């Protein structure tokens, strides 16, 4: 089982899942290029799938289950579409395959705050509210603390690639059974995105979590782990 963090994230984001699923199967968490302790800030987002495939090769893993949040989920979508035999089952948490122009502009303005003096805190506060996690003080504090440590230039560059990267054409190539998870309080990923992916991915199902936002695996880890385990056991 491979867990893939979101933009600006790291392996520690999946602590609850690592502890739970390590009792059942081999669990792997990686820090994507330019994140956490990983090098590779010059690696374009479109090549992240190749990094993941190379890791699986290095570990002598022919195929794996993938679970990713947002940007990490899009890496999973890419690998499942371009190298379908490498992915057994795929879990996509609060991700988009494409954004409308107005949605891209709105999010680009948000991430532009990272380049302004003292803009990191304002960016973090606005994103916390948009993600629907403002009622979780521990998550909010951790997010604000992580924001102060981000490489703003790198995060802005990757995000600009993400919002221009349209994956819709490759989604029908995905053969893996796919679970599309949406936290209904998430205001960062538009609601239509999961519906669009569901139409395009052949073997997909949708799980709507009523009382969570963008980070359900942190907001309600027990519930999230149970849903994930049920999907993997099918």
pLDDT tens-digit profile of 6-64? 999 999 999 999 999 999 899 999 999 999 999 999 999 999 999 999 999 999 999 99
How far apart are the C-alpha atoms of 63 and 78, rounded to whole Å? 14
CA 143 to chain centre: 15
Q: Give the H or E element holding residue 181.
A: strand 177-183
How far apart are the C-alpha atoms of 4 and 145, rounded to whole Å? 21
**Domain CATH code at residue 173:** 3.40.50.1820
pTM to 2 decimals? 0.96
The answer to whether residue 92 is domain-embedded is yes
The answer to whether residue 81 is domain-embedded is yes
The answer to whether residue 143 is domain-embedded is no
Residues 6+ apart with CB under 8 A from 53: 79, 83, 86
- If you write DSSP's letter for every residue of 124-164 in order, what string do you get? HHHHHHHHT-TT-HHHHHHHHHHHTTS-HHHHHHHHHHHHH
Which pLDDT belongs to residue 95? 98
The answer to whether residue 45 is domain-embedded is yes
The answer to whether residue 170 is domain-embedded is yes
The answer to whether residue 200 is domain-embedded is yes
Residues 6+ apart with CB under 8 A from 9: 35, 36, 69, 72
Q: What pLDDT digit, counting tens, does each position of 143-177 carry?
A: 999 998 889 999 999 999 999 999 999 999 999 99
What domain range is 85 assigned to?
A: 2-98+166-233
CA 120 to chain centre: 21
Q: What pLDDT digit, counting tens, does each position of 75-106 carry?
A: 999 999 999 999 999 999 999 999 999 999 99
Q: What pLDDT digit, counting tens, does each position of 113-133 carry?
A: 998 988 999 999 999 999 999
Which pLDDT belongs to residue 193? 97
The answer to whether residue 104 is domain-embedded is no
The answer to whether residue 154 is domain-embedded is no
Domain count, the chain: 1
């Amino acid at each position: 089982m491979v867990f893939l963090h979101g933009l600006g994230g790291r392996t520690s984001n999946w602590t609850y899942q690592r502890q739970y699923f390590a009792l059942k199967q081999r669990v792997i968490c990686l820090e994507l290029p330019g994140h956490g302790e990983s090098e590779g800030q010059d690696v374009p987002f479109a090549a992240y799938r190749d990094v993941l495939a190379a890791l699986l090769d290095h570990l002598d893993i022919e195929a794996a289950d993938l679970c990713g949040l947002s940007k990490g989920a899009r890496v999973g979508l890419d690998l499942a579409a371009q190298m379908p035999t490498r992915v057994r089952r795929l879990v996509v948490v609060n991700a988009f395959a494409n954004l409308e122009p107005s949605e891209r502009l709105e999010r680009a303005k948000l991430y532009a705050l990272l380049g302004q003096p003292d803009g990191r805190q304002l960016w973090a506060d606005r994103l916390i509210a948009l993600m629907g996690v403002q009622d979780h003080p521990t998550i909010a504090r951790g997010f604000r603390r992580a924001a102060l440590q981000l490489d703003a230039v790198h995060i802005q560059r990757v995000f600009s690639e993400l919002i221009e990267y349209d994956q819709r054409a490759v989604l029908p190539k995905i053969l893996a059974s796919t679970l599309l998870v949406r936290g209904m309080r998430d205001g960062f990923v538009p609601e239509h995105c999961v519906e669009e992916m569901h139409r395009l991915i052949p073997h997909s199902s949708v799980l709507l979590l009523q009382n969570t936002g963008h980070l359900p695996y942190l907001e309600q880890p027990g519930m999230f782990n149970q849903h994930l385990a049920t999907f993997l056991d099918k």
